[in-house]
Amino acid sequence: MQTFLVRLPMAYIMSIQPNASLTMIGLAAPTSTAVGIVLNVCFFLYLERKEKNPKV
């Protein structure tokens, strides 16, 4: 999900800029990782909340 929704589009957008550089294109990888960390933390918090308040 990270690769298709964040890394590839960001790398493409950075590559078509007028003064594109490998540094700008390379920022897609850490950005994708950061998005993945945020998604994992959100999912973890969701599961913790669900486990504390089970609906019977």
Find tokens 């999912």 and name the residue: 43
Q: What is the pLDDT of residues 17-52, one digit of tens each?
A: 999 999 999 999 999 999 999 999 999 999 999 888
Give whole-number Cα distances, 36 to 5, 18, 27, 43, 54, in Å. 11, 29, 14, 11, 27
Name the residue with higher pLDDT: 38 or 53: 38
CB 19 within 8 A of CB 33: no
What do you get for the CA distance between the two ends of the chain, in Å?
33
User: Which residues, other chains included, contact 35 with Cβ-Cβ below 8 Å and sequence gap of 6+?
Assistant: 2, 5, 6
Q: What is the pLDDT of residues 1-16, one digit of tens each?
A: 888 999 999 999 999 9
Chain-centre distance for alpha carbon 30: 9
Check residue 56 and give its pLDDT. Answer: 54
